[in-house]
Homo-oligomer: A and B are copies of this chain.
Amino acid sequence: MAVQTFPPMRALSLTGGAVPQRGFTPAEFEHRLARAQRILHAHWLDAVFVTSPPNVRYFTGFDSQFWESPTRPWFVVVPAQGKPIAVVPEIGAPEMARTWLDDVRSWPAPVPSDDGISLLRATLEAIPARFGRIGAELGREMSLRMPVTDFLTLRDTLSREIVDGSPAIWEMRLVKTDAEIAHIAHICAIASDAYEALPAAISVCESEREAVRKLRIDIARRGADSTPFMPAISGPGGVDQIVCGPGDRILEEGDILFIDTGSTFDGYFCDFDRNYAIGTLSSEAARVHEALWLATEAGIAAAVPGATTDEVWRTMNAYLEEAGAIGNNVGRLGHGLGLQLTEPPSHRPGDGTIIVENMVLTIEPGMEYAPGKMIVHEENIVVTGDGPRLLTSRAPRDMPVIR
């Protein structure tokens, strides 16, 4: 197969090496809202109300780690006309009032008997009715962050129909703004540098857990805000899964150490992995690594405006089949990312998403080449009018070695 090779490109080309301004301008939020309102109209929705941290943040800029507490629900209503309205627990009202929103309503939560439901209902009832439909986070790749019993009470007592708003919400978030892309590029650059520095910091006979601790601290030092996702798994010639760990396993000669990270800057994620050979790499593992490296090149090249996610999958999958893949339990070969570690679309057969400019995507080919021996590569890209551009520093073609 003909392969277009990408020179190592750095996020620096997007950010100029500077740390992006934290937060977003009111103009940015106006732009997001205008886009959202066009989409609401196309979906015949009078409004959506959102409850989950990334959706609340997308429309308001509200940033908090307090989402770790499951006690209180939070709501933001995005109407088809006018600015979003926050309906939040009193504990969050002072900070929500500092966002670009004008209308912040609150109640003295927690109040189990009525934790914001009557206030949310009154807010929704006052939204001008055109279609008689309100969207909520009821569908794919979303969870409703409120008690389902409360949701059903609201649904049954609201004068308008509540329908699945997730297709509309994902349509809003699927295409990133330039400011969002600069955020993602920055965290990709931080994690790229830390991955490159890792072999010098660890050695054979250390544990997976120790490797993660060092990488986690290094990523924080370089300016990441958090690292919610950093699985590390090691095994002879590959690993049998890529989502759990680290454990206390000691790195041994012949292992491949797989590390993935979703670290964040100002709310935005990177999501890419690296593989390290411990001591030596078997010729078979090296062959598979090379095939995956080429599959990644091809996957990046395929992610052009107008292509579908199915095509991106097919392009990469051809390399995996040719290399003798016996499986891959990941279920897809990449996905969107942004305010979440993974977002739609998925590079998989049947996904059918048409790729457009300003989508940010992972290119993630992986294959099991022998039972229990899986290798997975991953890079992050942004789709531009000139084609795909790497946000990560491209993984070296030869697997880095830890001694």
User: Which residues of A pack against B, CB within 8 Å?
Assistant: 22, 62-66, 68-72, 89-95, 108-112, 136-149, 151, 164, 166, 213, 216-217, 220-221, 226-231, 240-244, 248, 262, 329-332, 335, 340-343, 346, 348
Contacts and interface: CB of A to CB of B under 8 A. Distances in A.
A317 to B, nearest CB: 14
Given A110-B332, A139-B147, A221-B217, A64 B244 contact: yes
By secondary structure, the A interface counts as loop
Given A70-B340, A220-B217, A342-B69, A140 B166 contact: no
Contacts of A22: 248
A145 B143 contact: yes
Contact of A217 (B90, B217, B340): B217
A229 B149 contact: no
Given A71-B342, A92-B241, A139-B147, 6 more contacts: A91-B243, A94-B241, A143-B147, A149-B164, A220-B220, A226-B227
A138 B143 contact: no
A110 B331 CA distance: 6
B221 A142 contact: no
Nearest to A73: B143
Contacts of A340: 68-70
A95 B239 CA distance: 11
A243 B112 CA distance: 20
Given A65-B229, A166-B147, A93 B329 contact: yes
A179 B391 CA distance: 44
Given A112-B140, A164-B149, A331-B108, A241 B68 contact: no
A243 B146 CA distance: 19
Q: How many copies does the complex hold?
A: 2
A296 to B, nearest CB: 19
A115 B84 CA distance: 32
B216 A63 contact: no
Contacts of A220: 213, 216-217, 220
Contacts of A244: 62-64, 66, 92, 95
A137 B401 CA distance: 46
Given A142-B70, A148-B138, A217-B217, A231 B65 contact: yes
B91 A329 contact: yes
Q: Kindly name the residue among A71, A217, A227 whose own CB sees the greatest number of chain B CB atoms within 10 A.
A: A71
Contact of A91 (B62, B151, B217, B331): B331
B329 A94 contact: yes
A242 B91 contact: yes
Contacts of A91: 241-243, 329-331
Given A71-B346, A248-B22, A331 B89 contact: yes
B68 A341 contact: yes
